[in-house]
Amino acid sequence: MPDQEILRQLQGKVALVTGASRGIGAAAAKRLAQSGASVVINYHQNRDAAQKVLDKIEDSGGRGMVFQADVTRQDQVASMIEAAREKFSAVDVLVNNAYFPFEVGQLHELSWESLHRAVEHELSAFYNCVQACLPQMAEKKSGKIIVVSTRLAQQPLPRMGAYAAAKSALESMANTMAIELGPLGINVNVVTPAFTLTDASMIMPEAFRERVRETRPLKKHLYPEDVAGAIAFLAGSEANMLTGSQILITGGSHLQL
Ligand SMILES: NC(=O)c1ccc[n+]([C@@H]2O[C@H](COP(=O)([O-])OP(=O)(O)OC[C@H]3O[C@@H](n4cnc5c(N)ncnc54)[C@H](OP(=O)(O)O)[C@@H]3O)[C@@H](O)[C@H]2O)c1
């Protein structure tokens, strides 16, 4: 494929990124727009931040729209998909990325409600987005679904159990869907970042962040753009034969205890 085609391989495609006002979602939205996609920038509370992502995309000659929706709400997700279809066309690439804060604490000390909420947020958001995108992806016999998980799902840390359990269940859903939706021409893959510098992770003290960087083989911080590159790869045609795959974005830390 000529270089220019690789760079613009999402030309004519529509990509929805959930939780795209900040962090990994914002970086993914900008990166997918660079590849030529029209991007739906979903946000929940930060309209100004989402608008800035759109401004940046449009300043670089790209196309997009912002849409406020709580992705844990089926009716709001359905309205967003409909708005995307009206403005552009059916969603070709779904990036399930939104981050839901959870209660930190040892699993046996958490209330059932707290654990249940973490799992419900992750699974309902993914379920709602897939339900809304699926009919049109199935009709076109093509679609790329990319799920943002976390390294903690496979490499647990104490007190992060609610998050790890929710993301493990999310990965399981993604893997099952890879089998179920493959015959419909839809690829489902997972990206698994380790600790990445975003608003969600900046609550950790600087000493912790430095320790994480220092213990990684690559000795560098992970930034949202590092994850966005893997998402763009999975969205593009070079990943057409990847489904049920998982890309670890860890700087090598998964190899260490
Ligand atoms: N940061 C890390 O270290 C790390 C590591 C591994 C995996 N991850 C995963 O990467 C993904 C993104 O995390 P991040 O660190 O980039 O998060 P972030 O910077 O805190 O951003 C969170 C995003 O999610 C949106 N959001 C929150 N609740 C929502 C809802 N109900 N409906 C729609 N959008 C909602 C926020 O929208 P508003 O701002 O508009 O409210 C925001 O755009 C998450 O799935 C997270 O689990 C992160």
Q: Contact at 8 Å (CB) between 50 and 102? A: no
Q: Looking at ligand 1, which atom is closest to the CA of residue 43?
A: 40
The more confidently predicted of residues 242 and 1 is 242
Look at residue 29 in the predicted model and tell me its pLDDT: 98
For residue range 192-249, list pLDDT tens digits in order: 999 999 999 988 899 999 999 999 999 999 999 999 999 999 999 999 999 999 999 9
Residue 178 and residue 187 in contact, taking contact as beta carbons nearer than 8 Å: yes
pLDDT, position 4:
67
Q: Which of 99, 117, 152, 216 to mutate to test the pocket of ligand 1 (most atoms within 8 A of CB)?
A: 99
Q: Which helix (H) or strand (E) holds 189?
A: strand 186-193
* 42-to-13, 60, 69 alpha-carbon distances in Å: 17, 19, 7
163 is catalytic: yes
Tell the residue nearest (CA) to atom 20 of ligand 1.
200
Residue 135 pLDDT class (50, 70, 90 cuts): very high
The pair of three-digit structure tokens given for residue 231, joined into one six-digit string: 């998402």
pLDDT (tens digit, 9 = 90+) per residue, 142-193? 999 999 999 999 999 999 999 999 999 999 999 999 999 999 999 999 999 9
Q: What is the pLDDT of residues 18-63, one digit of tens each?
A: 999 999 999 999 999 999 999 999 999 999 999 999 999 999 999 9
Helix axes 161-181, 112-140, angle to 10 degrees: 20
Residues with CB under 6 A from ligand 1: 18-25, 42-46, 49, 70-72, 97-100, 148, 150, 193, 195-196, 198-201
How high is the pLDDT of residue 5?
63
pLDDT band for 6, please (50, 70, 90 cuts).
low
> CB within 8 A of 166, min separation 6: which ones?
100, 102, 118, 119, 121, 122, 123
Sheet of 63-68, strands arranged across: 63-68, 38-43, 14-17, 93-96, 143-148, 186-193, 246-249
Residue 1 has pLDDT above 70, yes or no: no
Give 96-119 pLDDT, tens digit per residue. Answer: 999 999 999 999 999 999 999 999
- Domain architecture of the chain: domains with CATH: 3-251 (3.40.50.720)
Q: Name the closest-CA residue to atom 46, ligand 1.
A: 99
**pLDDT reported for residue 241:** 98
Whole-number percent of the chain with pLDDT over 90: 95
221 alpha carbon – ligand 1 mean position (Å): 18
Confidence of residue 2 (pLDDT cuts 50, 70, 90): low
